[in-house]
Structure 1
Amino acid sequence: MNVEEISAIVVDCAFHLHVDLGPGLLESVYEAVLARILAERGLRVERQKAVVFEYQGIRFDDGLRVDLLVNDCLIIELKSVEALKPLHSKQLLTYLRLLQMPLGLLINFGAPTFKEGCKRLVNNHQNFASSRLRAREKTGGARSREDREAGGLS
């Protein structure tokens, strides 16, 4: 099953969950119920998956967690707030980049309608790397001119 098929199943399940339970519950309740429903549909679901990343040669494996990781290819970030904010999308995009995943769903069960509360976000980074890393890949590891002029990392 590919990520698009998995995404369609998740959206269908989340839609019905939103209709059946409605807004107003804690995020953790929606997370537990959605994880169970998805598992019953035959998907592998990990809850509160740690986002492990490396920065300046130091490994960080605590502090960042995705709500649900489905079949090792789809990140689901859940919210139960009145309205989504740009920060919520940025959070999911960062998780997608750090975990090198292609697709994520931001689902807000606090929205009046499911359509208002569901966003599909695609990781558009080439090879899922940051622009600085892509520049280094193209130059064989050498710093780009922009990095040198800006005093960027080597």
Structure 2
Amino acid sequence: MIYNKITENIIGAAIEVYKALGPGLLESAYQECLFYELKAMGYSVIKETTQPIVYKDITLDHGYRIDRLVENKIVAELKTVEKFTDVHTAQILTYMKLGNYPLGLLLNFHTKLLKNGIKRFINNPQ
């Protein structure tokens, strides 16, 4: 599946950023550097794209902002937190559901090893 290769490359780019910067910076620094790395790989990446909320017959345009959307298919949410919480999981799953995106990555740059701060999610629409 092509999405698996893209997620591998996103994780590889995140590791590259983490190796260069280490933990302890603001989330926005990692967001910009990951954006740079993914663009250098030739991917289409959208920063802080809004995700409107559709409720019955209305659309709320002031929805949420997805940190990075790669190839218009994969949600990449970056965090700098002690540990992931249920709220972080709910956030990425909701973004994926609202946008009908097939995959999502939750990346926490506030870890000793970045591999311990990566969660991958699959959207299985009913």
Aligned letter for 2:59?
A: R
Task: Tell me if structure 1 keeps the 8 A contact 2:77–2:107.
Answer: yes
When Rg is computed on C-alpha atoms for both structures, the one with the higher figure is: 1
Aligned letter for 1:11?
A: I
How far off is 1:103 after superposition? 0.3
Report what 2:42 is aligned to.
42
Q: Structure 2 matches for 1:1-154, cutoff 5 A?
A: 2-126=2-126
Paired with 1:36 and 1:69, the residues of 2 have a C-alpha distance of: 13
Q: What stretches of structure 1 of length at least 5 have no aligned partner?
A: 127-154
The one-character-per-residue Cα deviations of 1:13-70 (angstroms, maximum 9, x if unpaired) are 1012112211100001100110011000000110000002310211112140100000
Paired with 1:85 and 1:111, the residues of 2 have a C-alpha distance of: 14
Paired with 1:86 and 1:18, the residues of 2 have a C-alpha distance of: 24
Identity among equivalent positions (%) equals: 39
Q: Structure 1 length normalisation: TM-score?
A: 0.78
Could you say which structure has the greater relative contact order, defined with CA pairs below 8 angstroms and 6 or more residues apart?
Answer: 2
Q: Which shifted more, 81-90 or 69-78?
A: 81-90
Aligned letter for 1:23?
A: P
Report runs of 4+ in structure 1 exceeding 4 Å deviation.
Answer: none
Greater strand content: 2
Kindly report the root-mean-square deviation, in angstroms, between the aligned alpha carbons of the 2 structures.
Answer: 1.2
How far off is 1:121 after superposition? 0.7
Q: Structure 2 length normalisation: TM-score?
A: 0.95
Aligned letter for 1:74?
A: I
Task: Tell me if structure 1 keeps the 8 A contact 2:81–2:110.
Answer: yes
Q: Matched residue pairs, number? A: 126
